[in-house]
Structures are given as C-alpha cells and as structure tokens.
C-alpha cells in the first residue's frame, strides 16, 4: 500500500512548464516517469496544423512516454476560462471543431481518456440553455471518444478558484455523467475525481471515494493548501489513494500540482524513484 502501489502520471501542462512543450515528455522520462497527461496544448486554436500534432506525437514517442489523459479544447486554460462546451456561440463552435481532432490525436498515441471541461456560467445566458448545450456537446464528445476506444471525463473544479464554474461538487459532476450516459447508451462517461478540487470545496473525501470510486475514470492530486506536491499541505493523500484502491479504483493518478519555486524535476522527492515508472 501507499504511494509505490499507485500508477502515477505527470500533467505536463502544470509541471515542466519551464520547458517548451515538445521538451516536456523527455523531461518527465528523465525524472523516471513513463506516463503523462495534458490539457489541450493549443489554447489559441481547437484545430492546430497537422505538423504540430505530429511533432507532439513524435516528442511523446521519442521519450517513451504514454499519454494517458488529454483535455478537449477548453478555451484559455490556464487563464480565465474553464472549458468551452457550455458557452454559447463561438466557444461552443470551437469545442465542436475540436472534438474529432482531439479524438483522432488521442487514437494516434493510444490515449484512452478525454476530459471535457464544462465551462463557466456566462453573464446574461440562461443556465438551463447552457446546460442543454453542454449535454448536446458532451454527447458528441462521448460518441467521438467511444469511436477511438476512450472514455469521456467530467471534472469537478473548486468554487474558490472557479466561482463561475457550475460543477463544484462531486454530485454535480456525477449528475452530468449520468445524463450523458443516459443520452448515449454508451456508458463511457466517467467522473474525474480531483482530490485537490474536492478538498477546496470542503467535501468529505473518504465519503466521495466510497460513493463514486466505481464511476471514476481518472484521479488527479495536489496537496492543500497551496496546490503543491504531496507533503506540502495537510491532505492525507497517501491514505486517500489507498482508500481509492480499496474501493476498486485501479486507474491512473495524475500529478497536477505546482512545483513551487524549484524546477519541476526537483518536486518529486516525495515519491521513490522506483515507483515512478508505471507498470
């Protein structure tokens, strides 16, 4: 039990950001990791040139790193946006334009989890209209994910840092997961359980794990307060990950924390080098 018993991957959109995108997979590999995940790397466009997609695939392949999670286009992230799929108008259109691009890229690198961030509430827009649009777009995304043998992830964020994001509790995200699965009949929509976000919302983490481990498709961690590496805050992350495993979760645990003032490569001292390569 404990950290060495987990399957960790590194989020290259929050760690190793001191390096250009194409150098990050090799940096993760040099630190001992064999699996990585990414937010949508091209924040300005949902449809990057083929050459840029090919270059990222080559960087992953050359480093020997497996991409295990990828976000669909989510607007300016990092930045003010928290997704695009429930935002009427141009952003929803951009999300739709991205669906097949992201799914095809995931297929090309063997990635089987695609995360669809819901998007913020928009001033002047009817929340019910946004939710109807969201379901429509999530159904399209779930079908595209299914086409390439992937699951669709729906994530809870936290209210203090994302006050206009509507999914700020585990039950809120689970409700969306259930609606998508009911609409598609595919059953490939899953919960992205982020222990940092849930702790920021004041949820009972052990209870969330008990209730929703079976419907969880991916886990992400950072300590709280501070969103730093495990051991920099107060969360009993090792125990919580053991609870997830005991509850039947056998998937990936994404390291989605800020390295602080030190280089990313120096932020993994909490994890024995022998436990970094995913078996």
Just list the catalytic residues.
155, 256
- CA angle 209–245–213, rounded 5-degree value: 30
Q: How many CA atoms lie within 13 A of 242 on its CB side?
A: 8
- Residues with Cβ within 8 Å of residue 122, at least 6 apart in sequence: 87, 88, 130
Would you call 60 helix, strand, or coil by DSSP? helix
Q: What DSSP designation does 123 have? A: T
Cα 229 to its chain centre, rounded Å, is: 17
**For residues 17 and 223, what is the distance between their CA atoms, to the nearest angstrom?**
19
Look at phi and psi of residue 32 and say left if phi exceeds 0, alpha if psi is from -120 to 50, else beta: left
């Amino acid at each position: 039990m404990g950290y060495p018993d987990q399957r960790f991957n590194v989020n290259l959109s929050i760690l190793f950001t001191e390096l250009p995108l194409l150098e990050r997979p090799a940096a993760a590999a040099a630190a001992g990791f064999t699996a990585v995940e990414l937010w949508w790397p091209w924040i300005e466009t949902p449809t990057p040139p083929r050459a840029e997609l090919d270059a990222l695939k080559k960087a992953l392949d050359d480093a020997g790193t497996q991409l295990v999670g990828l976000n669909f286009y989510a607007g300016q992230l990092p930045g003010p946006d928290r997704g695009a799929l429930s935002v009427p108008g141009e952003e929803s259109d951009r999300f739709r334009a991205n669906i097949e691009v992201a799914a095809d890229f995931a297929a090309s690198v063997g990635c089987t989890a695609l995360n669809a961030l819901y998007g913020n509430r928009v001033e002047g827009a009817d929340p019910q209209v946004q939710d109807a649009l969201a379901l429509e777009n999530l159904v399209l995304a779930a079908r595209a994910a299914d086409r390439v043998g992937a699951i669709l992830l729906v994530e809870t964020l936290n209210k203090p840092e994302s006050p206009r994001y509507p999914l700020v509790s585990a039950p809120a995200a689970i409700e969306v997961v259930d609606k998508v699965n009911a609409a598609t009949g595919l059953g490939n929509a899953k919960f992205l359980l982020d222990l940092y976000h849930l702790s920021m919302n004041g949820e009972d983490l052990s209870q969330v794990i008990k209730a929703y481990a079976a419907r969880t498709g991916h886990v992400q961690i950072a300590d709280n307060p501070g969103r730093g590496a495990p051991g920099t805050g107060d969360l009993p992350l090792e125990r919580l990950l053991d609870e997830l495993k005991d509850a039947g979760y056998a998937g990936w645990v994404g390291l989605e924390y800020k390295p602080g003032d030190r280089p990313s490569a120096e932020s993994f001292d909490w994890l024995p080098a022998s436990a970094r390569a995913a078996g």
